[in-house]
Amino acid sequence: MSISYNELIETIFRAIEEVNKLLPPEKQLLKSASTVLLGESGVLDSLGLINLIVAIEEQILNDIGVNVIVLDEEVLANPEGAYRTIETLANWILKKGI
């Protein structure tokens, strides 16, 4: 089964809603494709990013029934890579072929 970019963004936004329930208001993520996840202007610490990634994996499984591994240590090491923003993350997930 394949998923469109917009469907994936909505799935990621649902995961953000779940993660935001655990965060103080000043640390909550905006549901926007341009939200910075990793890097200087990102609001998440490393544990917060891992929690979001796990939530995204679970939400993809719930929404479309596909088990996808979003956590990648090599990608995580590059602050300008796939985890930089919601948009770059969504595009990277789509390239994985879900």
**Dihedral sign computed on CA atoms, order 67, 81, 5, 47:** positive
Sequence spans of domains, the chain: 5-95
Per-residue pLDDT of the chain (98 residues; tens, 9 = 90+): 578 999 999 999 999 999 999 989 988 999 999 999 987 888 888 888 899 999 999 999 999 898 988 887 777 767 678 889 999 999 999 998 77
pLDDT at residue 36, rounded to an integer: 93
Q: Where are the beta strands (DSSP E) in 30-76?
A: none
Neighbours of 15 (CB within 10 A): 24
Indicate the residue type of 63: D
What's the pLDDT score for residue 79? 66
Indicate the pTM of the whole model: 0.89
Please compute Rg for the chain using Cα positions.
12
Residues forming a β-bridge with 36: 85
Residues making up the chain, counted from first to last: 98
Question: Are 29 and 17 spatial neighbours (Cβ–Cβ below 8 Å)?
Answer: no
